[in-house]
Structure 1
Amino acid sequence: MNQKVIQSIVEEVVSQFSIQSTPEKGIPIAVSARHCHLSRHDLETLFGKGYELAHKKALSQPGQFAAQETVSIVGPRGGIENVRILGPARNLTQVEVSKTDSIKLGLHPPLRKSGDVKGSSPVTIIGPQGSIYLLEGLIIAQAHVHMSPADAARFQVSDGEYVRIAVENERSILFEKVLIRVSPDYKLDMHIDTDEANAGLIATGTTGKLSKYAGPS
């Protein structure tokens, strides 16, 4: 067997190995309806001293759950009842809504990553035992993907990076500038809001394909 034939075989083996080693770009998608995260102080203001949230349903991210409890949120144009609280309690209070929700409220929340509420929209939250007025805390959550470090290595992305997620169905849609969030506590999952889901006829459990994003940061 001559050297040229050997080289050809080697290249074919390497090529097949590379194809098999390429990670499947399937990202499970969860549709996130309007919801509220409460600090311990605000939880007690709304529900009473020492109140503990009741577990309703586990969420995709480990340790996170939808609570039995809901609140109402109010803006200058109107209110929305039965906004689900997600537990456990956090360090700060944050309300996440869709653009459609914000129009109903008459408010103008910015598009932000979760936790970035500085300078965001005010909102009033009403519970059974009291109410609070937040000077800032209402946002439209930026589409993002939760990943473990192992997933990040598999997809060759890093925390804080932006990617594209393509969903191919009867109304195919491409999500640009999707934020990657990496933590040992995370499970692979993309979060979008109800407006984004409706635009692409997407239900929880749909998968998308990840590719690199080359646009402006």
Structure 2
Amino acid sequence: MKNMIPVAMSNRHIHLSQEDLDILFGEGYQLTKMKDLSQPGQYACEEKVDIVGPKGTLKGVRILGPVRTHTQIEISVSDGFVLGVKAPTRDSGNIEDTPGAKIIGPKGEVEIEKGIIVAARHIHMHAEEAKQFEVKDKDIVNVKINGPRGLIFNNVLVRVSPSYALEMHVDVEEGNAAAIKNGQMVELIK
């Protein structure tokens, strides 16, 4: 069927810089791959950390690899209530004017001034797929979810790169609202 895309739900997680990883786990620490993720080169790690906000703590937040230039924490809206922070909905990597938190690892703690976001729902696709779908990088589209709790997600960001594999990402709260199953096919509509 035309314009169909697999969808996956993303739970809370953290991307660490090497500098913060060294403080949290020890100098020169290397992340331990637990399993590959759908996007090439991305993986879930064995390591977890605790995130402490003004009101509460999220324990056992999974680290995703590889390390990045800047530490970023991706949470759900409900997680923001637990932490006591108002995280804006943002594209990954856009962390200016976002709240920070304390991160606790087995060897140390880091206080980040910024970096907590609610990830904008988005679609990863390769340039060839973007041609097929007649979209380009940073386009905003709608996506239709079928089923007993079907709905239309508005404001879905398209991200195009030669290193991406076709997949839409929503957070767990959004996915549960529509009773989505990982791998379910959803329809891009314009």
Normalised TM-score (structure 1): 0.86
Indicate yes or no: 2:61 matched with 1:83. yes
Indicate yes or no: 2:50 matched with 1:72. yes
From the two aligned structures, give the one with the greater helix fraction: 1
- Out of 109, 112, 126, the residue aligned to residue 131 of structure 1 is 109
| RMSD of aligned residue pairs (Cα, Å) | 0.8
- Out of 67, 72, 83, the residue aligned to residue 94 of structure 1 is 72
Structure 1 or 2, whichever has the larger Rg, is 1
Deviations 1:89-142 (A, max 9, x none): 011100000001111111111010000000011111110011111111000000
Percent sequence identity is: 45
What is the alpha-carbon distance in structure 2 between the residues aligned to residue 53 and residue 206 of structure 1?
Answer: 30
In the TM superposition, 1:1-217 aligns within 5 A as 24-212=2-190
Deviations 1:31-78 (A, max 9, x none): 000000001101111000010000101000001000000000011111
The letter of the residue matching 1:182 is: V
Deviations 1:142-175 (A, max 9, x none): 0000000000000000001000000001100110
What is the alpha-carbon distance in structure 1 between the residues aligned to residue 169 and residue 101 of structure 2?
Answer: 23
What is the alpha-carbon distance in structure 2 between the residues aligned to residue 77 and residue 35 of structure 1?
Answer: 19
Q: Matched residue of 1:140: which SS?
A: strand
What is the alpha-carbon distance in structure 2 between the residues aligned to residue 195 and residue 136 of structure 1?
Answer: 23
What is the alpha-carbon distance in structure 1 between the residues aligned to residue 179 and residue 10 of structure 2?
Answer: 14
List alignment gaps of at least 5 residues for structure 1: 1-22, 213-217
What is the alpha-carbon distance in structure 2 between the residues aligned to residue 173 and residue 131 of structure 1?
Answer: 41
Q: Which has the higher contact order (CA 8 A, sep 6+)?
A: 2
What is the alpha-carbon distance in structure 2 between the residues aligned to residue 124 and residue 200 of structure 1?
Answer: 33
Count of residues paired in the alignment? 190
List alignment gaps of at least 5 residues for structure 2: none
